[in-house]
Amino acid sequence: MAPATSILSIEDLSIAYDRDKYAVKNVTATVRKNAITAIMGPSGCGKTTLLRAINRMHELYPNISTEGKIKLYGDNIYEMPTIELRRKIGMVFQRPNPFPTMSIYENVIAGYKLNGIHLKRSERDEIVEITLRDVTLWDEVKNALHKKGTFLSGGQQQRLCVARALAFKPEIILLDEPTSALDPVSTAKIEDLLVELKQHYTIILVTHNMSQAARISDNSMFMYLGELIEYEDTKTMFTNPKDPRTEGYLTGKFG
Amino acid sequence: MNSDKITKYILFGASLLILVLAGGMLYSLVEGSLPSFRVFGWKFLVSPEWNPTQGNQHFGALAFIVGTLFTSIFALLVAIPLAFSTSLIVAEYFRKTWFANVVSTCVDLLAGIPSVIFGLWGFYALRPFIVSIGLSHQGFGIFTAGLVLAIMIVPYATSLSNSIIMMVPNELKEAAYSLGATRLEVIWNVILPNARSGITASYILAFGRALGETMAVTMLIGNANILPNGLFSTGNTMASVIANEFGEASGVHLSSLIEIGLLLFVITAIINATGKYIIKKFA
Amino acid sequence: MDSSILQKRKTMTTTTHFGARSFKSRLFFSIVLLFALITISIVFLIIGTLAAKGFRQINWSFFTQVAPDTFDAMMANASGKIIPGGILNGITGTLLLVGLASVIAIPFGIVIGIYLYENATKRYANVIRDITDVLQGVPSIVVGLIVYLWVVVDITKGYSVLAGSVALAIMMLPLIIRSTEESMKMVPTTLKEAAIALGTPYYKVILRVLIPSSFSGLITGVLLAVSRVMGETAPLLLTTLGNSSVNWNLAKPVSAVPLLIWQFYNDPNMVNLIWSSSLFLMGFVLLLNILSKWIAAKKSIQ
Ligand SMILES: Nc1ncnc2c1ncn2[C@@H]1O[C@H](COP(=O)(O)OP(=O)(O)OP(=O)(O)O)[C@@H](O)[C@H]1O
Ligand SMILES: [Mg+2]
């Protein structure tokens, strides 16, 4: 598979939590810009670990060891300050996690506050409005901007979290099963949103939900026991999987 | 009547003991204070003069109220950085590691050391040190008592804040890290705002402890019945004056000491109730 | 999408000082670590001081003889000998005081704790719980004053073992009540329900199910309460005063180890005895403390 323009290249990446227990083994892949890349695989196969390695969130665990490289536009991310990297690569988590002590408004610009960047009032207002419009939340919350984000529904909270990640204009957004805690209607809204967002951002999405991957992703990875078994154009993978393990997973034999 | 009912009545009956104890304490303190109150009235609270000499007897508690507040507030101000740091080490930086275990065990041991031993250590180890670096002449006073008091209340200030800091959801910290925050920024913008009320409550409870601490303070404050005029001044706290003069007191003198006890009882009850209320309400 | 703000945000991203911020973060960590080390080093300093100075005086007579009087101590000091005598009157006094206090406080504490557990949501129980918390915060010297008024003045007409024990019991009571309630909460409700479903009388459910299955929690709470009051000095000054010989009469004054420490502290001739008594007291209290934590930890592993 030859991506049109690549933004991220993972080169022989291996990650172990304990000395010999590899959660990710020798993964090599290139991620296409302005596309949705899905990561699939059975539980415990290393999806989350791989995703977190992309913005180095996996380093928060003690005793973790990482071998190999990930290059963002050709620069090795393991040689950048994490602060800088994480601003270029945003993240959305499995469970919506808006900051409960902050209002909706403050949540959107939380990245600026956390990074100690002072904005003028008008700039803040502008960023909040644009970003909330981007995640199609503006009309729902514009009259409640200064209420706590935790009063929103689960789906709204998750869109708020996407907004929080977008407010910095990252290059890439990582999402780890962002809809697994949501109802079908909210899930559909997030999916539409992701398809909309890929015009401006590169999206990497971990999902357990095969039909979700089929519906919205352009490329798909299939992982098994830490290895990247197959990486294909999504349509090709779903219609014509090369590896029997991929086929087994897609036809529901395991996972 | 069946046995279940009897059991229930016994349980309920025992619970009355708490009411009787609390009510009885208040009643006895008020009753014991009356002779003093009849003589000095409300002036007791605002008069700084305390003179037990027969014939010139005059009793006012202001010097001790000020001494108590002064010592306890100073102790709290010293204790907060120590307690806050140990909490962060135990509940955040080294959470669930052997080092966190060592630190929290040490703090637990600190809580177990008797007050009189803190007093001895302050007298024989800390006081000479304070004299030798020239901070004070004799080494007695608010400063020395406050320092030892600060160490004594650290365990009370940390025990609750540790668990509160531990309870801040990991997901929120991760969200902040994913936005590029440093650890300090995560502590300041995520952990503190989420744990604020619990931490405040534990410092209030620690303050309540400081107010009533007796032996260590009595041994270090210099026992002068004067309004303290500075950090290095000698003085007396409400608790220390009771411990000091109780043995020789009788009549109005004794009643005045009991009235000070009543004041201390009421103040600590209010402080403790406030702390517990904050915990219940916000944490 | 407004492109000007997009542009602005891109430039901002590149202009903040990563270095300064991570330096600040590391500096903060160093300060926090320093303060924590100061705190724990004080524990070692205190224990070390007591051990170094108190070790020499601890010998056989330390446990078998009563405290010397000032004159004997002065003579020994003058001739450079070790002060004769020990702290037997203090040790027996402390055992008597704490033992009697436990006899008073443990049954009441456990029964009231069970009451709070059984009626967790009742309004009255909440009031009792709040008052218990307030009682726990009453300064020990105030407890001493109150027991002086209750027991010393009205019952024993003088300083007495009974008065001291009542004071210590009042201080133990809230601790035992709350630890009983907390450890009962840990008992799986299914266990209790199973017993009730079998038609077991209520008191048997308490004696056969609740208490046995929370037993180690109860022990932990009691040990912790004992270790808290064992070193108390202030309330004893107001209730038992002290005694130069061993006393087992509940209506008479008695000594206690912390009272002896206070007495030695106030007597320049006795200084050398301070350290051994303090070392002994602290060792005993910390041992109880550690024992209770150990039991609690062992329980939570199971
Ligand atoms: N913090 C950790 N410490 C040690 N081992 C871990 C840790 N997190 C994950 N692992 C192990 O690493 C392997 C990969 O885990 P990972 O969370 O990446 O899987 P996943 O594909 O995201 O699973 P799921 O679909 O359940 O989310 C698993 O075997 C897991 O047990
Ligand atoms: Mg996962």
Q: What would the pLDDT profile of A127-183 be if each residue is shown by its tens digit?
A: 999 999 999 999 999 999 999 988 999 999 999 999 999 998 899 999 999 999 899
Which uninterrupted H or E stretch holds A31? strand A21-32
Nearest C-alpha of chain A: how many angstroms from B194?
7
A3 pLDDT band (50/70/90 cuts)?
very low
Nearest C-alpha of chain C: how many angstroms from A230?
35
Task: State how many domains chain A has.
Answer: 1
C301 pLDDT band (50/70/90 cuts)?
low
Average model confidence (pLDDT) across chain C: 89
pLDDT at A4: 66
Chains in contact with A, where contact requires at least 3 CB pairs less than 8 Å apart: B, C
Task: State how many domains chain C has.
Answer: 2
A1 pLDDT band (50/70/90 cuts)?
very low
Is the minimum distance from the CB of A45 to ligand 1 under 6 angstroms?
yes
Q: Indicate whether B27 belongs to any domain.
A: no
Structure tokens at C153: 């003045």
Nearest to B174 by CA among A37, A63, A82: A82
Q: Indicate whether C63 belongs to any domain.
A: no
Same domain? C200 vs C276 = yes
Q: Indicate whether A197 belongs to any domain.
A: yes
Q: Indicate whether A173 belongs to any domain.
A: yes
Q: Indicate whether C76 belongs to any domain.
A: no
Q: Cβ A97–B185 below 8 Å, yes or no? A: no
Chains in contact with B, where contact requires at least 3 CB pairs less than 8 Å apart: A, C
**Residue ending a domain, choose from C35, C57, C79:** C57
Give the CATH number for residue B240: 1.10.3720.10
Q: Cβ A130–C10 below 8 Å, yes or no? A: no
| Interstrand relation of A227-233 and A65-72 (parallel, antiparallel or unpaired) | unpaired
Give the CATH number for residue C122: 1.10.3720.10
pLDDT at C3: 43
The Cα–Cα gap between C290 and C286 comes to: 6
Better-predicted residue by pLDDT, C68 or A73: A73
C81 pLDDT band (50/70/90 cuts)?
confident
pLDDT at B135: 86
Q: Indicate whether C238 belongs to any domain.
A: yes
Give the CATH number for residue A188: 3.40.50.300
Q: Which residues of A touch B171 (CB under 8 A)?
A: 93, 95, 97
> Under a CB-based contact definition with an 8 Å cutoff, are residues A218 and A32 in contact?
yes
Note down the domain range covering B223: 58-282
pLDDT digits (tens, 9 = 90+) for A79-94: 999 999 999 999 999 9
pLDDT at C192: 83
Q: Residue A224 CA: which ligand is closest?
A: 1
Q: Which long-range contacts (CB under 8 A, 24 or more apart) does C207-211 make?
A: C210/C114, C210/C117, C210/C184, C211/C110
Q: Please tell me the least confidently modeled range out of B34-48, C238-252, C287-301.
A: C287-301
Same domain? C29 vs C100 = no
C208 pLDDT band (50/70/90 cuts)?
confident
Average model confidence (pLDDT) across chain A: 92
Same domain? C123 vs C258 = yes
Q: Which residue of B has its CA nearest to C294?
A: B105
Q: How far is CA A174 from CA A22, A48, A60, C72, in A?
A: 22, 10, 17, 81
Is the minimum distance from the CB of A39 to ligand 1 under 6 angstroms?
no
Same domain? C93 vs C52 = no
pLDDT at A18: 84
Q: Which residues of C touch B103 (CB under 8 A)?
A: 36, 39-40
Beta bridge partners of A219: A37, A233
Q: Indicate whether B148 belongs to any domain.
A: yes
Note down the domain range covering A34: 3-243
Q: Which residues of B touch C170 (CB under 8 A)?
A: 21
Q: Please name the residue that has the structure tokens 């100075």.
A: C53
Chain centroid offset of residue C292 CA: 11
Same domain? C13 vs C103 = no
Q: At what angle do helices B62-88 and C18-54 cross, to 10 degrees?
A: 120
Q: Indicate whether C75 belongs to any domain.
A: no
Q: Cβ B88–C137 below 8 Å, yes or no? A: no
Is the minimum distance from the CB of A44 to ligand 1 under 6 angstroms?
yes
Q: Indicate whether A145 belongs to any domain.
A: yes
pLDDT digits (tens, 9 = 90+) for A52-74: 999 999 999 888 999 999 999 99
User: Which of C2, C4, C9 should we substitute to test contact with A (largest number of A Cβ atoms within 10 Å)?
Assistant: C9
Is the minimum distance from the CB of A46 to ligand 1 under 6 angstroms?
yes
Task: State how many domains chain B has.
Answer: 1
Same domain? C124 vs C266 = yes
The Cα–Cα gap between C112 and B5 comes to: 16
Note down the domain range covering C175: 88-301
Q: Residue A131 corresponds to which amino acid?
A: T
C82 pLDDT band (50/70/90 cuts)?
confident
Same domain? C154 vs C297 = yes
pLDDT at C94: 97
pTM for the model:
0.91
Cα end-to-end distance, chain C, whole Å: 59
Q: What is the arithmetic mean of pLDDT over C51-68?
A: 85
Q: Which residues of A touch C28 (CB under 8 A)?
A: none
The Cα–Cα gap between C171 and C117 comes to: 21
> Under a CB-based contact definition with an 8 Å cutoff, are residues B35 and B252 in contact?
yes
pLDDT digits (tens, 9 = 90+) for A104-120: 999 999 999 998 888 99
Does the pLDDT at position C1 exceed 50? no
Q: Please name the residue that has the structure tokens 């006094």.
A: C93
Q: What is the arithmetic mean of pLDDT over A39-58?
A: 95
Residues in chain B predicted with pLDDT less than 70, given as ranges, are: 1, 283
